[in-house]
């Protein structure tokens, strides 16, 4: 398998894509399941090394796992922030690194949010919705008392 995986485009695809830099396809599958309904495409990059070959302007959001290479991740975040074409692109860190030094370094480099693993998927989805400016639909799947 190559280091970049693109999910098949959903019929609702609106031209906006989310880049996930993580080797955990479970997270990508969950994000794809939810955001493809809203028209988003999902690309998964399994290596930081190929991100320099990607056109980052294609992405509406970037989600990074810092567990790969902490320093390279910080450089990527800074590069995205320092490019006038991508400086407003939301960057979310999803990582097992749950120490203050890592969190502060990522936020100082330009990450918009940091969520530690394990996390509840609904918490992640709410954070992503807010950063993308998408209103959440009320959860009607919960049973209501009559």
Domain of 20, CATH number, reads 3.40.50.2300
Counting the structural domains of the chain, the total is 1
In a domain, 73, yes or no: yes
The residues that bridge with 42 in the sheet, in sequence order, are: 18
pLDDT at 101: 94
pLDDT at 36: 83
In a domain, 99, yes or no: yes
* pTM for the full predicted model: 0.85
In a domain, 10, yes or no: yes
In a domain, 143, yes or no: no
In a domain, 125, yes or no: yes
pLDDT at 12: 79
Asked whether the beta carbons of 38 and 61 are under 8 A apart, the reply is no
Q: Kindly list the averaged pLDDT for each block of 10 residues, start to end, along the chain of length 146.
A: 72 85 82 83 85 91 87 94 96 92 96 92 87 66 36
Tell me the residue range of the domain where 34 lies. 4-132
pLDDT at 76: 94
In a domain, 65, yes or no: yes
In a domain, 87, yes or no: yes
Within 10 Å of residue 37's Cβ, how many Cβ atoms? 11
pLDDT at 24: 77
In a domain, 116, yes or no: yes
Q: What is the spatial distance between Cα 105 and Cα 102, in angstroms, rounded to a whole number?
A: 5
């Amino acid at each position: 398998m190559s280091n970049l995986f693109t999910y098949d485009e959903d019929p609702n695809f609106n031209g906006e894509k989310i880049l996930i830099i993580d080797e955990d396809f479970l997270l990508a599958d969950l994000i794809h399941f939810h955001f493809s309904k809203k028209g988003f495409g999902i690309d998964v990059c399994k290596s930081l090394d190929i991100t320099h070959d990607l056109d980052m302007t294609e992405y509406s959001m970037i989600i990074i796992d810092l567990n790969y290479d902490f320093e390279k991740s910080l450089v990527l975040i800074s590069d995205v922030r320092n490019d006038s074409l991508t400086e407003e692109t939301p960057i979310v860190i999803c990582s097992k690194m749950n120490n203050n030094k890592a969190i502060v370094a990522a936020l100082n480099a330009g990450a918009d949010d940091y969520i530690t693993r394990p996390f509840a998927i609904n918490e992640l989805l709410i954070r992503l919705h807010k950063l993308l400016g998408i209103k959440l639909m009320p959860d009607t799947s919960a049973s209501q008392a009559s």
